[in-house]
């Protein structure tokens, strides 16, 4: 084959990365589906012969897992909503900022993303703990006598999720809002629209693609996180992540861990399909409107 042929050159350049991603990343998902229909002998990691639906039955039968799933859904949904409410004005400010500080604001948003899940949680323990910064400050001003319990509660875990995943909401929002024409808001203002009306009728509809993208990212990240719920929940809050980690790393029931993983994968897949449909609907509506 001629090496100066562009298509063979492209294939050569792409091959290592595609191979790495396909073999080490995508192939294991196939294994996951396969082992979710297997069982292993007691006290051994060897897979038993034959395929079975036993793991899926166990998942539905055991209230502990059903409750953990339910808890993870509402906690992640609440964290997503909080990220949206906190993030929208922030993203709007960054998107419309013309000064030098804009880059710095974006760079600071990257810090939690590259810090991993653990170090922010380690800081959160001292921020929210019974002798931590929040409780210490409230006591200093005489607002409370006994510490508010954040660690080991769902409140603490949700606060941790919001802190960890806020950038996943803000960055797509900044992207969408930066592309919004600057003068729409001024136009709405000059026509006498109240600020609340401008937000509801102009900014929110135009930001919708960013809102959807950010919400999906935050929800999926919160739903599958296990370090934040484990560390800030102090082992008392069972979520999908902590349960899956337990089964895979401590109980060593790998086929059952696979089943948990497959269920979440299917749920996330459905969520993505729904979002794509919703996006298409919005795009069509907008085409008709214009």
Q: 101 to 120, contacts with another protein by CB under 8 A?
A: 102-112, 114-120
Note whether 135 binds another protein by CB under 8 A: yes
State the binding string over 52-81 for another protein (x if CB under 8 A, else -): ------------------------------
What is the distance of C-alpha 27 from the center of its chain? 23
Query: CA 124 to CA 152: how far, in whole Å?
Result: 12
Which of 39, 163, 176, 215 touches another protein (CB under 8 A)? Answer: 163
Tell me if 1 contacts another protein by CB under 8 A: no
Handedness of CA 234, 238, 242, 243 (dihedral sign): positive
Compute the residue count for the chain.
290
Which among 61-69, 73-81, 124-132, 278-286 is the span making contact with another protein, rule CB under 8 A? 124-132
**In the numeric block, which tokens belong to residue 260?**
């948990």
Q: Name which of 50 and 192 has its Cβ closer to another protein.
A: 192
Tell me the site size for another protein, rule CB under 8 A: 97
**Cα separation of 178 and 148, whole Å?**
40
Measured from the CB atom, the residue of 70 and 269 that comes closer to another protein is 269
Query: What is the rounded distance in angstroms from the CA atom of residue 83 to the CA atom of residue 92?
Result: 14
Query: Considering the complex, what minimum distance in angstroms separates the CB of residue 124 from another protein?
Result: 4
Of residues 153, 189, 275, 279, which one binds another protein by CB under 8 A?
189
Judged by CB under 8 A, the stretch of 27-35, 66-74, 150-158, 278-286 that binds another protein is 27-35
Spatial distance between the Cα atoms of 189 and 258, rounded to a whole number of angstroms: 54
Cβ at position 204, least distance to another protein in Å: 15
DSSP-derived 3-state class of residue 225: coil
How near is the Cβ of 254 to another protein at its closest, in Å?
5
| Max CA separation in the chain (angstroms) | 79
CA atoms 273, 275, 279, 285: torsion sign: positive
155 near another protein, judged by CB under 8 A: no
CB 104 to another protein: min, Å: 6
Binding window for another protein (CB under 8 A); candidates: 56-64, 130-138, 204-212, 277-285: 130-138
Hey, how many other C-beta atoms are within 10 angstroms of the C-beta on 21? 11
Q: List binders of another protein among 209-268 (CB under 8 A).
A: 220, 223-227, 230-231, 235, 241, 244-245, 248-249, 254, 257-258, 260-261, 264-265, 268
Q: Using the rule CB under 8 A, is 21 a contact of another protein?
A: yes
Closer by beta carbon to another protein, 108 or else 286: 108
| Residue choice 1, 140, 288, 289 for contact with another protein (CB under 8 A) | 140
Buried-exposed string 95-130: b where 16+ CB fall within 10 A, e elsewhere: beeeeeebeebeeebeebeeeebeebbeebbebbbe
CA distance 134 to 11: 55
161 near another protein, judged by CB under 8 A = no
> In the complex, what is the shortest distance from the CB of residue 33 to another protein, in angstroms, rounded to a whole number?
9
Three-state DSSP at 47 gives strand
H or E, element range at 246: none
């Amino acid at each position: 084959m001629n090496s100066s042929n562009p298509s063979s050159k492209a294939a050569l350049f792409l091959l290592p990365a595609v191979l790495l991603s396909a073999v080490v990343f995508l192939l294991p998902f196939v294994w996951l589906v396969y082992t979710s229909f297997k069982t292993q002998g007691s006290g051994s990691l060897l897979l038993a012969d034959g395929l079975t639906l036993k793991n899926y039955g166990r998942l539905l039968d055991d209230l502990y897992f059903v409750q953990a799933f339910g808890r993870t859904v509402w906690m992640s949904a609440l964290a997503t909503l909080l990220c949206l409410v906190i993030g929208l004005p922030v993203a709007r400010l960054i998107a419309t900022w013309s000064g030098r500080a804009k880059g710095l604001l974006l760079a600071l948003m990257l810090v939690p993303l590259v810090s991993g899940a653990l170090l922010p949680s380690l800081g959160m323990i001292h921020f929210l703990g019974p002798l931590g910064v929040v409780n210490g400050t409230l006591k200093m001003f005489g607002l409370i006598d006994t510490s508010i319990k954040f660690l080991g509660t769902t409140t603490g875990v949700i606060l941790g999720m919001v802190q960890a995943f806020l950038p996943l909401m803000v960055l797509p929002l900044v992207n969408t809002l930066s592309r919004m024409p600057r003068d729409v808001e001024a136009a709405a203002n000059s026509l006498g629209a109240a600020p609340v009306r401008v937000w509801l009728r102009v900014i929110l509809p135009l930001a919708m693609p960013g809102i959807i993208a950010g919400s999906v990212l935050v929800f999926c990240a919160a739903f599958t996180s296990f370090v934040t719920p484990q560390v800030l929940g102090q082992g008392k809050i069972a979520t999908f992540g902590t349960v899956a980690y337990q089964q895979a790393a401590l109980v060593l029931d790998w086929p059952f861990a696979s089943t948990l993983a497959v269920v979440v994968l299917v749920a996330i897949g459905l969520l993505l399909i729904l979002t794509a449909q919703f996006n298409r609907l919005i795009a069509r509506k907008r085409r008709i409107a214009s």
